[in-house]
Amino acid sequence: MAALAMAEVLDTQLHLPGVETEKYSLADHDTLCVKGHVAMHGPQFTGDIFLEIPVPFVRSAAQQIFGFENPADVQDADLKDVVGELSNMIGGRVAAELLAEGLTCTLVPPDKSIVTRVKHEAKDSAELSQTYWLCDGNLISLTVQKKLITS
Amino acid sequence: MSAKILSVDDSRMVRSVISRLLKPFEVELLEAENGEIGLAIATEKLPNVIILDYNMPVMDGVTMLTKMRENESTKSIPVIMLTADANPQIIATVARLGVKDYITKPFKDADLIAKIGRTVQLVPRPAAPPAA
């Protein structure tokens, strides 16, 4: 569902092509990630989008975006700002795709944190899709969880 | 005279991207991280155009836009919405409030510059003289 959104965000905002991959080993990649979480609330469903990007990759992107000379000048707040906004953009695109299926929702402003990457598990009867992307040698994970509200 | 542009977005990343895109032009760029600060700056500085996010803490973009339209001094300032949210209810609301344009994030650099350029004249900065 979010594949197009992810590819578009990486291309237009970071100017880097991202490729969805099924061949990955979490052990071969940085486990410390910046996580952005956007919650979606609608009359027919609730949902969550989790975007996890390795810290060194976000640091490099933030250095360019904010124009820092030295990577060490990039603060945690800068890392969280970048991933929060990227997850917000993906959330907007996913919401638009859901709207095309007749599901309306509002987006909650993203919350951001620095975490160890985890494999997300579907909660209750939620529908969960977790995809991995390679971008400039870094493994990015995107998880979309959706649960229909049954009356 | 350079154009005065106000960028209102809670994301410092988006404000930085806009600042970089406008650097080649004679522009006075003002910034605010939410609608409340944006409204105060708009009232005091009367920018030529406002680039406005929707989903922000403290005061969202629609509330800021509504308050601007109620104020004689700010009601005619052109506004370009720049938001991740493509909810048709929001689009209909801001259309009623007379926004000049609506851009959804993620956006292409050239699209944003073209839409700003349709609202205000973007004059290129003169090239810096060669170092002596």
* pLDDT tens for each residue of B7-57: 999 999 999 999 999 999 999 999 999 999 999 999 999 999 999 999 898
Restricting to B residues 84-103, those with a Cβ less than 8 Å away from any Cβ of A are 84-88
Q: What angle do CA A67, A135, B106 make, to 5 degrees?
A: 65
Confidence of residue A92 (pLDDT cuts 50, 70, 90): very high
Amino acid code (one letter) for B85: D
Is residue A144 within 8 A of residue A44, CB to CB? The reply is no
What is the extent of the structural domain holding A16?
Answer: 3-148
Asked whether the predicted pLDDT for residue A119 surpasses 80, the reply is no
Nearest by CB to A89, from B20, B84, B87: name it: B84
Please indicate if any CB of chain B lies within 8 Å of the CB of A65.
yes
Average pLDDT, chain B: 93
Please indicate if any CB of chain B lies within 8 Å of the CB of A103.
no
Quickly tell me which residue has 């991202």 as its tokens. Answer: A18
Confidence of residue A27 (pLDDT cuts 50, 70, 90): low
Nearest by CB to B87, from A9, A89, A106: name it: A106
Work out the minimum CA distance from A43 to partner chain B, whole angstroms.
14
Higher pLDDT, A92 or A30: A92
Total count of domains within chain A: 1
Q: What is the pLDDT of residues B75-107, one digit of tens each?
A: 999 999 999 988 888 889 999 999 999 999 999
Confidence of residue A62 (pLDDT cuts 50, 70, 90): very high
Half-sphere exposure of B46 (CA within 13 A, CB side): 6
Asked whether the predicted pLDDT for residue A151 surpasses 80, the reply is no
- Whole-model pTM: value is 0.90
Domain ranges of chain B: 3-117
> CB–CB of A8 and B106 under 8 A?
yes
Strand ranges in chain A using DSSP code E only, listed in sequence order = 18-21, 32-41, 45-54, 106-107, 111-116, 127-135, 138-148
Q: Which of A22, A9, A15, A13 is nearest to A51 (CA)?
A: A9
Asked whether the predicted pLDDT for residue A30 surpasses 70, the reply is no
What CATH number belongs to B3-117?
3.40.50.2300
Work out the minimum CA distance from B88 to partner chain A, whole angstroms.
9
Phi, psi angle pair for A15, to nearest 5°: 55, 40
Is residue A80 within 8 A of residue A10, CB to CB? The reply is no
In whole angstroms, give the CA distance from residue A123 to residue A119: 13
ipTM of the complex: 0.86
Phi, psi angle pair for B58, to nearest 5°: 70, -65
